[in-house]
Structure 1
């Protein structure tokens, strides 16, 4: 005569009929069932412990590359004769996402960039208006950084780069091999645009965890601020056999309805770029530019720097101590209110030489 008994599996009571004759068989069955349950639970626990033990940097410091002083601003500071600058909007955008900034100067040798990058957790190539063929300038410095970052990552040292507008174009040119012909296309866009996401964008690192409501805003509202006369097209990637390394994740259309790449990422390295300007919605205020300043523009553009800083937290480079940190940080330089001078940038940091120079 069978005997009914009950067991509890994951909080659910299940009745099992046990025949006294088949007691030994049932014991073997229960043993297999129990092992199966424990095996599943164990897999979950291991995964959670692994995530919990992942080492993250809670004090990330990001280098921002300076660029040649603009002709317009040079005329506003003729005696100081500054050679390079960083728009403060990039610094504030990084700080807003929970990181600090170290300025990276142009015109240095490769050892300067390598030694500094050993202390930094990532590098930002900002947008701007400079030529790529100037010796010892923005492009040369970026090339050193780009190549050193590749070396770091190839050695298992996770080192991210994020590039905006001019930097977006330069990174593809560096990947193509710099030459007399630059691998970018003419493309005029001076307006606020939505993004046209690639069909597989949700599998990208940049957008994998982006909130759905922010994706909706980016796809349906004119919130990405474009200000460029060059761009990267799919044809630029194909012409230099870059499509296997670089992955477009979204597009936009310029003033002449040319479809250009708006965001991309490297398939192996933690290198990311946007053709538009996420920093401008919160920190650039020139009226004639008509930048998008709506609350949706501000919120949705946070996706990009929040993501990049989260990538930089995976890098554990550090300065020797707080004293060394303090010598390098951007706080050693005053932010100058350049908007009042007619500059497109609201504030700027200026570098080398500091003070007046002899005539």
Structure 2
């Protein structure tokens, strides 16, 4: 008797997609091509294939879920500024130093004239303060009260008692009422410091020259120099200790550049040589030389001094011009030069914060330079860019 023909081979298995979803009950297998019911062996193979398929999918889903959980556990939480208070305690700020005055006011003495060779104001009683000196003080966090040199003495005294330090500006006047007022305020500065009231003074250019005359008691102590509109370096005195001086907080690289690059502006025709300075006992006893500078003829003058016993610093150069004056083409305006301006301003105002003079706020507000309007005069192309004029 002949044998029955062998059953047909099962259809070839197609590769399963890695993330294929399980087949729902009642759905048609994508591999089924015949409408006839499957044999028992094919049904068994299909059932095994579906079970394996479902098992693979569950394992893969489980692994993906675990990977996401691990990644989220490692990632730091995202915190918005609004959530910071919930995650951290309130920031702890150091208390203010009660020994310092954080609202310092500087008195700047006005100079005769209008600052523009009478182009702006021809009044005989006119005086001015270049706005660059005001900005120098303001950029370090202080306010200004103008000390008008020719106003009644009682008013001048009251104003000096409202401030925490004084600035003498550049200029030309070396005699008359202006010289007398400079000498008067200088003596007030000394008295205040002798009485225990820390009261700094910064003297620039003409201010330096007038202090040299007053301290030396010699009207002929000054010499002629060719340093008008002259950018130059500062040469530090050998073995000088810059602690407790204007240069103490200068960055080391900037200190080096001061002696190798033209970062400071000289603009004067008088000064004092180191030799003459050292031969004058009164000057040597009062001031210590910090730096020297050369003029256009390479003649050397004393350019920075510091009082030995008082918070008084004097420059024969103009720190205010680097950042705030544009009338002279030789003024250094590089980033380093502007940093010199800022460092000087920071030093002076830092000194003023040590003053414990705390007058009434109303008296200060009534006398601030904000009560005056500056005049723009830079279109002339020379001199100052902006001045405050008082008549």
**1:335·1:349 contact (CA, 8 Å) conserved in 2?**
yes
Q: State the shift of 1:167 in Å.
A: 0.7
- When residues 225 and 75 of structure 1 are mapped into structure 2, their CA distance, relative to the original with a 3 A threshold, is same
Give yes or no for contact 2:249–2:343 (8 Å, CA) kept in 1: no
Listed as ranges, the matches of 1:291-302 within 5 Å are: 291-302=331-342
Shift of 1:278: 0.7
Question: Which residue in 2 is equivalent to 1:11?
Answer: none
Mapped contact 2:115–2:384 kept (Cα < 8 A): no
Larger Rg over CA atoms:
2
- Per the alignment, residue 93 of structure 1 pairs with 136
Question: Deviation at 1:292?
Answer: 0.6
Aligned-partner Cα distance in 2 for 1:207–1:76:
37
Structure 2 match to 1:9: none
Shift of 1:84: 0.2
Indicate how the Cα distance of structure 1 residues 116 and 77 shifts in structure 2: closer, same or farther if over 3 A, else same. closer
Taking the TM superposition and a 5 Å limit, the aligned residue runs for 1:304-323 are 304-321=344-361, 323=362
Matches within 5 A, 1:240-279: 240-241=280-281, 242-279=283-320
Q: Secondary structure at the match of 1:188?
A: strand
TM-score, normalised by the number of residues in structure 1: 0.77
CA contact 1:201–1:250 (8 Å) conserved in 2? no
Q: Where does residue 187 of structure 1 map in the other structure?
A: 225
Shift of 1:234: 2.2
Q: State how far apart, in whole Å, the 2-side matches of 1:85 and 1:62 are.
A: 16
Residue 211 of structure 1 and its aligned partner are, at CA, apart by: 2.0
Q: 1:100 to 1:71 in 2, by over 3 A?
A: closer
Equivalent residue for 1:46?
Answer: none
Cα distance change, pair 71–222 in 1 and its aligned pair in 2 (3 A): closer
Residue 120, structure 1, aligned to residue 163, structure 2? yes
1:324 aligns with 363
Task: State the distance in 2 between where 1:196 and 1:54 align.
Answer: 38
Matched, 1:132 2:174: yes
Stretch moving more, 61-70 or 81-90 = 81-90
**Cα distance in structure 2, aligned partners of 1:71 and 1:120:** 24
Structure 2: runs of 5+ lacking an equivalent:
1-94
Q: Quote the residue 1:238 is aligned against.
A: 278
Contact 1:74-1:81 at 8 Å conserved across structures: no
Partners of 2:334 and 2:202 lie apart in 1 by: 24
- Counterparts of 2:97 and 2:244 in 1: how far apart (Å)? 24
The C-alpha deviation readout for 1:298-344, integer Å capped at 9, x for no partner, is 012322121011000000213312x2212100011111101113441
Structure 1 counterpart of 2:248:
208
Alignment root-mean-square deviation, CA: 2.0
Match among 65, 78, 97 for residue 109 of structure 2: 65
Question: Offset at 1:58?
Answer: 0.4
- How far 1:52 moved relative to its partner? 7.9
Counterpart CA distance in 2 for 1:72 and 1:207 is 33
Counterpart-to-counterpart distance in 2, 1:283 and 1:243: 33
Q: Do 2:197 and 2:357's aligned partners in 1 also have CA atoms closer than 8 Å?
A: no
> Which SS does the other structure have where 1:281 is aligned?
helix
Contact 2:115–2:387 at 8 Å: present in 1 too? no
Are 2:154 and 1:154 aligned?
no
